[in-house]
Amino acid sequence: MTRAEYLFVIVWIINFIISVLYYLWGALFYVPARERQDKNEEEYLHDNRRTYLIRVIVMVLCPIVGPLFFLVSHLIYMTIFRQEVDLDDVIFSKERVKTNVKADEERERNLVPIEEALAVSDKKNLRMLMLNVIRGDLQDSLESISLALNSEDSETSHYAASVLRDELNDFRVTVQKIYTDMKEEEPDQTDSEEMLIDYMNRILCQKVFTEIEQAKFVMMMEEAAESLYQKNASRLLPQRYEAVCLRLLEQKQFDKVSIWCERLVQQYPEELASYTCRLKLYFMSNDKEHFFTVMDQLKKSDIIIDNETLELIRVFS
């Protein structure tokens, strides 16, 4: 046996003895002591015998390196991470705390578009889907939920009817409250008008009301937009102009849409909405001359075009 081999055997034997002593100390003394302590104090997660056994295996297979690694790790933990944190200057306020809830991966993995799920014959899965949708944000899903009213499964249609009834009733009450506040506003106040336009458009664009009620709410929305225009036209952003135009177009109120389009062009001539609203108006009113005139103007402009408008240009070019 060479000197190097002899030295290696000696080092390995010493390393083995240290590893065994470490395991005996941890398994026979440290772990039982911690278990007795946990019975009298608040429960805390400590190393168990299995943890010490795994460490010993690593220490035996990696002489010197293994014990040094665990020793340095323990020293770092004792000197840095074990220090108490000074929280004297920290103020906890529930008003400023935002709770981040862990994602429900199992639920998200099972979500599919309701339009596709309604074609599934498995009633159990369909019902589970409806319950998952109900647990989420409903206001942007009312149109899809309304499709479930015609489901062959009576329980699924009952879920959909209950959700729609509650959400639409909340919408009616909220709109009436904001509308009343709008009527009582001071001449220089515009908060209610802005809130009413944004809130109503989010629901009305899904077309979940009857024709009569939809028309009534669209007129209220248009009234709020007119009030906002008279008070402070700068608060009528292009998105709000577009929302009013599209809802009026659905009601085929072409004369009113024309007025709002003119206002939009005057206030925001370089916005894409000023072109798309007119294109939709002229298309629905079958005004071919003005339709192609506006389309040519849009082609020659430097405005960035979205995919929907680009597809429209390709179809009619």
* pLDDT tens digits along 114-161: 555 555 555 555 656 555 555 555 666 676 677 666 666 676 677 677
- Residue 11 in any domain: the answer is yes
pLDDT at 76: 81
The answer to whether residue 34 is domain-embedded is yes
- To 10 degrees, the CA torsion angle through 280, 284, 290, 292? 70
61 inside domain: yes
18 within domain boundaries: yes
Distance CA 48, CA 29 (A): 11
129, part of any domain: no
Confidence of residue 111 (pLDDT cuts 50, 70, 90): very low
- Give the H/E segment covering residue 116: helix 114-117
Domain carrying residue 17: 3-76
Q: Is residue 306 part of a domain?
A: no
pLDDT at 144 (0 to 100): 66
Report the C-alpha gap between 272 and 312 in whole angstroms.
13
Asked if the model's pLDDT at residue 244 lies above 90, the reply is yes
**pTM exceeding 0.95:** no
Q: According to the model, what pLDDT value does residue 123 have? A: 58
Q: What is the DSSP letter of 103?
A: P
pLDDT at 79: 76
Question: For 91-108, b where at least 16 C-beta lie within 10 A, e where not — what string?
Answer: eeeeeeeeeeeeeeeeee
Count of domains in the chain? 1
Q: Are 144 and 207 in contact (CB under 8 A)?
A: no
Residue 271 domain-assigned (yes or no):
no
Q: Which residue has the higher pLDDT, 130 or 260?
A: 260
Look at residue 66 in the predicted model and tell me its pLDDT. Answer: 81
Least confident of 61-70, 84-93, 138-147: 84-93
Locate tokens 């083995």: which residue?
16
Q: Is residue 48 part of a domain?
A: yes
Q: How far apart are CA 310 and CA 272, in angstroms?
A: 11
